[in-house]
Amino acid sequence: MSVLGLKVIVIGGGIGGMAAARALALRGASVTLLEQAEAITEVGAGLQVSPNGFAVLDALGLGDELAAGSVRADAISLRDYRRGEVLRLNLGRLANRHYYFTHRADLIGLLARGARDAGVRIRLLQRVERVEPGDRPRVHTANGATLEADLVIGADGLHSRLRPELNGADKPRFTGQVAWRAIVPNHAGRPAEAWVHMAPGRHLVSYPLRGGSALNLVAVQERKDWTEEGWNHQDDPDNLRAVFDDFGPEAQDMLARVEEVHLWGLFRHPVARTWQRGHCALLGDAAHPTLPFLAQGASMALEDAWALADELAATDGIDAGLAAYQARREARARKVINAATGNAWKYHLRSAPVRFAAHAALKLGGTLAPSAMLHQFDWLYDHDETARP
């Protein structure tokens, strides 16, 4: 079908929402994006855009700008928390070298400009209270307004207002892990590499941002109790340093520079059973939230955004297009989520003999067959959602 003139409301001004809005507007849809915040901004945090996510940005005409404002990754280094490097994945061996470390605010800003340039109307301070699916779905906002459209897209994250309308309520399960996030100066001149320091029950991820001037830190600890979900809880940097005080000098140097840090609990949400009904659709975390252990949250949202617009443009009718979108995306989303979940225990091996054996196996594999170690991720990084299946 042609999406020319299709009236679309996108709920949520994050990565997936902005990308879907631009993708549909470029195809001729009339798109309004509702964002509850007073400005399109993101607090300080980094993220990784792997080649599969970059493929979508490039197809949206934003690839060059993303590359210019980001750090292109050279390697991923798995490191023992005290003994140094265990396995080095040289990203220069990838067929597609477009793997970037970027600041979330920079990516959101790029997508917002791209959406506006495509004709998307971005309305701020629009908190959605309720969505009514149907042939003409309705969106009810907190200020008393009711908006109608041909299609409503819920790109509103973990606490989506649309997801319960399509699936009913679900209860997230605490994973037994919490994470801190911080950005510190890159005084040591760290190269364009992501380092993962692995330890019993903990790990620390770090990589450079913004031309190498800063380092993004994500530190994860296994813990029994947590009450609040979300990642915007400010914590004392000394609490972070105390949990990781047995790490080696590399980590201590980074942690010593932390002046502001946020802490959040990691919760496991099931993949939504129903992604679409009544001319409404979910994408990104609203449909399939993932844990941050494969660095695929942003790229999965980008892939969803492209696939949704692509299927609507290629399929006869909104209902058929949305059904094709879920069929196209669900199996891949589940595979990525399962892979991310599996990485957590690999990073956190508690038994010293088991950890020694596992790290020795990784080091041997990296020495004898470095290409094979890297190409185990071909299914992930070589995927191009912009190439029709």
pLDDT digits over 86-119, tens only?
Answer: 988 888 887 778 999 999 999 999 999 999 999 9
| Token pair listed for 103 | 């600041």
**pLDDT at site 215:** 96
Q: Whole-model pTM?
A: 0.93
pLDDT above 70: residue 245: yes
**pLDDT at site 192:** 95
Which helix (DSSP H) or strand (DSSP E) does residue 140 occupy? strand 138-141
pLDDT above 80: residue 367: no
What is the mean predicted confidence (pLDDT) over 256-277? 92
Share of the chain above pLDDT 90, in %: 71
Distance from the first to the final alpha carbon of the chain: 18
State the catalytic residue, choosing from 207, 325, 347, 381.
207
pLDDT above 70: residue 387: yes
Which helix (DSSP H) or strand (DSSP E) does residue 361 occupy? helix 352-368
pLDDT above 80: residue 382: yes
Is 207 a known active-site residue?
Answer: yes
**pLDDT at site 227:** 54
Who contacts 87 (Cβ-Cβ below 8 Å, separation ≥6)? 77, 78, 362, 363, 365, 366, 373
Look at the alpha carbons of 210, 214, 215, 218 in this order and tell me if their dihedral is positive or negative: negative
Residue (of 122, 149, 165, 158) closest to 33 by Cα position: 122
Residue (of 272, 290, 291, 297) closest to 282 by Cα position: 272
Q: Of the spans 173-182, 308-317, 369-378, which averages the highest pLDDT?
A: 308-317
Neighbour count for residue 259 (Cβ, 10 Å): 9
**pLDDT at site 264:** 86
Q: List pLDDT tens digits, range 28-42.
A: 999 999 999 877 766
| Token pair listed for 23 | 């993708």
Strands 30-34 and 121-123 turn out to be parallel
- Strand-pair partners of 220: 179, 203
Which helix (DSSP H) or strand (DSSP E) does residue 34 occupy? strand 30-34
| DSSP 8-state code for residue 70 | S
Q: List pLDDT tens digits, range 123-180.
A: 999 999 999 999 999 999 999 999 999 999 999 988 899 999 999 988 778 888 899 9
Q: List pLDDT tens digits, range 47-90.
A: 999 999 999 999 999 999 999 999 999 999 999 999 889 988 88
**pLDDT at site 95:** 74
What is the mean predicted confidence (pLDDT) over 339-368? 79
- Residue 44's pLDDT band (cuts 50, 70, 90): low
